[in-house]
Every structure is written in C-alpha cells, then in structure tokens.
Chain A
Amino acid sequence: MKYVPVRHAAVGLAFAAGLFVGSPALAQTTQTMLDATKPGDKYRVYVANEYNADITVIDATTDAVIGTIPISGRPGLVRPRGMALSPDGTIIYVSISDFHPEFEVTEDKIVAIDVRTNQILQEFRAGGNPERIALSPDGKQVWASLEALAQGGGYDIATGTQFVQFRVGIEAEGVAVSPDGKWVYVTAEATHTTTVYDVENKKILKHILVGNRPRAVAFSLDGSKAYVSAEIGGTISVIDVNKNHTLVASINLGLDSRPVELVVDPSGKYVYVAGGGTSAIYVIDMATNKVVNTIKEKMGRRPWGVTITLDGKKVYTANGLSDSVSVIDPDCMCVIKNIAVGRGAHSVQIGRIPAGV
C-alpha cells in the first residue's frame, strides 16, 4: 500500500524556519533533535488512527492534512496505536496490533515510516499486542509494551530482532526510556504498577505501585522525574528517579479526567496531560505539581494523544471520539484549530524533514 497524498491540499510543505518540533518522547530526543535541526527543516504531524488502520499526515506549518499512509487494508481489525520518533526526527515508528488481543498474531509488529517519503522503511515482529513504544536516545533500540503477554520488549532496529523481553504487570501499556538511556519504564493497567528495567545491567529493578489503571509515562527533560498517568484514579504519579525510583507525589486531576498521554514541554517546566474523560488538556507546573491551566474550550472529544513542538509554540492532541486533532497555542492556552483526521485518533507525533531534502 502506498502513501496517498491529498491532491487539493497545499502538498508542497511550507518553509518552517525556526520551527522545532517534538514528540511525547521529547526528553529523549530534545538534544539530538536540536543538534540535528537547521533552518529550512520541514515538519509533519503524524496521527495514528486506530479504527481506520492508517496514519494521517498533517503539514505542521499550515496544519492542513496532506495525505494518508495506509497501514492495513483491514480497518477495524488492525489497529495502529503507539508512536515514537527517531532522535533526528526523520523516522516515525508505529506499533501495530489487532483487535483480538490474543497472544501473537501476524499483525503484531512495529513499522518505521520515512518522514521524507511517507513510505514504510522497515517493519518487524513484536509479539503480543504491542501497544506503545519508545526509542532509546541513540535511536538504535525500540522498546515496546506487549499488552497481551504482560511483558516489555526491546528490539534492535538495525536487525529488527528482539534482544530482550521482561516481565511487567498485566495489560502492559505505557513505555518510556529515560533521557540517559539507563531506564525503561513500563506501566501495567490491571496491576497498577510501573516496572523499572535497568538497561545496562539487563534486569528488572523494581515494580512501583502507582495510581489506578496507569496508562502512559514520560520523563522530565533532565531525567530526574517520571510522570505516570492513571486513568481510573484520575492522577499523575510523580516518581523520583534518583531516589531509587520512588513515588514522591500524586497529582489529582479528578476522577473524570481519565488521563492518558503526557508530554513535557521544551522548557522542562510544564507537563501537558491529555484528559480523555473531560476532553481537556491539563497543564501541570512541574515545580509545584499543581495544575496551572485546564484547556477545554473547543477541544476535540476524548484526547488520548498529546505532543508539543520543540519550540513550544504548538501542542497537538489526538482526539479519539471526534476523529480529530486539536491544535493548542500555549501562549493563550487555547485551541486555535481542529483538524479532521481518521477514525479513532490514538496518538500523535511530529517528524522532521531535514533542510535540502
């Protein structure tokens, strides 16, 4: 299947000088991306449409849809969900599974998409309903939560092979790699735990009790803290990485909030949380652990995915019940645009096309 451009749209990507864009795994990619980015780079927003079995591509400058990348000819049966970005921003990784969470089926895989061409570069098996993924800071490994197996898995990107699998709780979901690459955190929805995997020593370090039904996890830019959303608990658990990965705070967003993805802004001061239950984005001051803003007006319904540009100028959310992406201006803390995408928008990422390509 081929990438399908939108013919009536402004297909030629606008020049986006100075627009640095990021991802939910921002902490891991910030420095590498900053090192790599140049004036003249162009950016594209990628949205995983869970029920459409495809990826919507949006021009990050105009916020217009410019095409669709088919993932499977079986929408409703094959589900693209989690996404991650290579450190230089040129490759988007997407975890694929099916709607029958059995142990392993042929759809269970990770695909790599070339941001320059929107073509699939590579795909490799990732057994057991891979739900979310994260890249190592050097871009050589991808880590996945294997939901049906209650395992985390590490894959070597060069060879497409799995090099480790480790036990986590039931219904593994969120995964993140610390900015220094030392730790992989994997959440488990049904066990209320976040598992800490020690990459260097190749062993599980501990399982941390967090909030009820933990979903996603993100590290602060300096890697000292990790933030875990708990959907049923309506909380964000704050883990101090340097204090033996200890839970140090719980931020209450309300039972209706049903938080899922979170992303740390480029200043390292705020974390944006997608509140699926209230169709809101919560902005938390990381210094005080207080909610300093709640963005609701004009938001699409049930945002689960959230990401932010590296210059901090725009926040994008993937809204699963309204099949849309909301674009937020952090200056006014308001929605400035809603973009129709495919059915069941699950996650959102931003890729980079280097200048001159």
Chain B
Amino acid sequence: MTTCGNSGGSGPQAMDSGRRDVLKFLAVGATMATGAACDLEGFFRKSFRELSPADVRRMVTGWERKYSRKYGKTVTVSSTGPMEGVKFGYGLDLSRCVGCRRCVYACVEENNQSRKEPQIQWIRVLEMDKAHGIDLNHSDIYYDAPEVPRPGKFYMPVQCQQCDDPPCVKTCPVGATWKEKDGIVVIDYDWCIGCRCCMSACPYGARHFNWAEPTLPAEEMNPKTHVLGNRPRPKGVVEKCTFCIQRTREGLYPACVEICPVGARKFGNLLDPESEIRQAMDTKRVFILKEELATHPSFFYFYAT
C-alpha cells in the first residue's frame, strides 16, 4: 500500500477517460471564460479516491506549499495508506475514566481543530448518574467542577466509532466519505459538499461541521498532517475523529491514548490477538454503543473492574 488514493481499488485504470475529457474541456472552457482567477482545478478536480498516485503526489506538494505559506512553518501532508493485515480497534475502560477531558484537548491540538467560534471537539465526554447507568438522554457534556470524578457520577467519552457499517458513508450523496481497509472512516475535505446528511445519519454525534472559517492559530498548528486526517479544513465541510490517522498509520498511538492520565484508552490491531485491544476483548466483557443499530463499531467500551 503506497497511497490511500489507490487503496479503494479505483486506480487510474478504473477512471473513465471520456469523463476526464469532458472535465478537461469544461475546465479549459471555464478558464478562458473567467480568466482563471479562481481555483478551477479544485472546482473540476476528481474525488480523492479517483486520483492516481501521481495525482496524489502532485496535490500533496501543492497542499504542503499552501499550508506552509499560510502557517509560516514547514507543514508535511502525508498520504500513507493502510497497512496490510491491520484493522484498528479501540477500547475504552469506563471503570477508569474520570472525565478530566485531557483527551478532548489533546485531540484538538493534535488534529488542528478549530479552537473557538466555531469550537470543534471530536470527543464529547458524557457525565451520567451511576444510579441510572448509561442513559444518554440524561447525560451532560457541560459539567464543570473543581474536581472529577464527582460523587455518584461516571463518565463516558464518545467519538467516532469507526463503524464497519457506517450510516454516514451510506448516506453521503457524493461519496466524499468512505471506510478505509484499516477500518478508519475518512472524509475528503475537498469533495464534501457540506449537506450534513452524514451528521443526521450518525448515531454517535461524531461528525462536526465547520460552521464558519476554522480558527487555528499558526503557532498552535500541528505541522505533521495527513491528507485524510488533520490537515487544515475549509469552512463548510464536515470533519471527525480518524483515530489520529497521521499517527496510527505511522505506528504511533492516537493522541487521546497517549494523554489519558488513567490509562482508560486502549488501541491496537484487531487482527493481532496480543494487541491491547484484543487482550481487553478477550479477558473483559465489552459492549458497543447503540448495538441495536447494527453499525458494528470498531470502538469497544468495557469495564476492567
């Protein structure tokens, strides 16, 4: 696997040459008509999955130049594809989580989310009553306290569950979001039309919309990015957790796993019986959120004690 552009099995050979000609014709025509003032290549470009590896390399170079100029630092845009024999899984130990929200902010910093106005956070930590068990409709994500965990409460962080049958992918009218072979559901930020069907379809509130131009201070920008992950997003598109694709495809743990002060977060290869996630699944009783919807998440909750 070299680039993810090729991973879906739709390489350059699969591309309809007639359609390419039409696109070229239109692009040329429109360029002449408007004097090429705007981003016509972006306007007429193909969806990411149809790009050839060469196209991807060319676009990556373009993005790197653009972001480096904008943020005043050397920004890299990786297009590393999925590894063979790897399917990512995530475990979250509800008996450990204390609701400190360290993961929320580590995620924001790692993944270049808009800081405020609009504020985008991929992880929501729900506070619920121990007396009622998991009852989303009486949960609170705005709890503020001098100290957590609060007596009588427990905490459940929710982020993208990287479903095997993702309703968001099913509903996207333009195929701008899809599931990669390693299980990560990704979004092509240059193809998303911002219709927000996926947000209606997602049972986990995992998808977030750039309601305005994202606010990302240059000094806080993480320059190590991935095409389908944490590269800067434009206004008007949807984004979500990618299991830190820019880290995990390089073998690193996601940022939320690294930061968790209580070790509640487990991550690894579901196809490797020795991975932490598999060990948790083998020795603990796991459950998935909203299992009745048959989305088959790759995200498992468990109670170690």
- Please say whether chains A and B are actual partners in one complex: no
Residue ranges of A at the interface with B (Cβ–Cβ < 8 Å)? none
Residue ranges of B at the interface with A (Cβ–Cβ < 8 Å)? none
